Amino acid sequence: MASLNVGNLGEFLREQRRTAQLSLRQLSEAAGVSNPYLSQIERGLRKPSAEILQQLAKALRISAETLYVQAGILDERQGPSGVEVQTAIRTDPSLNEKQKQVLLQIYDSFRKENGYGSTDPGAAPADDVPGHG
């Protein structure tokens, strides 16, 4: 079984699902995957494709990169990235959805103002920004 950390991924997904206050069924419907398949992923019995991870990330409102790192597909970056900060905001249970959206917009505008680009998953990456790192 390749070097995917399917057990850790499953635990991480379950924790993210619970933080988002979603049932297994709700997440499976939102991500467009079957309930039994999602259950098997959470129990570490299946290793999902990058596409499935992306669908799950979107449904959980976290970055796909976060799931790719958990699955062992990507190496974790040194220091907190914009994506990690964004994920922390989106998964903070002490904030309501409106507060999360406002914080994300402010954070994104500061990053753009400082030349680091958007943390929006649809935006182009800004990995080669001078002075970063």
My answer on whether 67 and 11 are in the same domain is yes
Alpha-carbon distance of 28 to 36, in angstroms, equals 9
Q: How buried is 56 (Cβ within 10 angstroms: 0-12 exposed, 13-18 middle, 19+ buried)?
A: buried
Query: CB-side exposure of 50: number of CA atoms within 13 Å?
Result: 6
132 in any annotated domain: no
The pLDDT value recorded for residue 118 is 63
Range(s) of the domain holding residue 54: 6-71
- CATH number at 37 reads 1.10.260.40
The answer to whether residues 86 and 104 touch, using CB atoms and an 8 Å cutoff, is: yes
Residue 77: pLDDT band with limits 50, 70, 90: low
Q: What is the pTM of this model?
A: 0.56
Q: Any residues with CB less than 8 A from the CB of 26 and at least 6 apart, and which?
A: none
My answer on whether 13 and 64 are in the same domain is yes
Alpha-carbon distance of 86 to 51, in angstroms, equals 21
Residue 3: pLDDT band with limits 50, 70, 90: very low
The pLDDT value recorded for residue 119 is 58
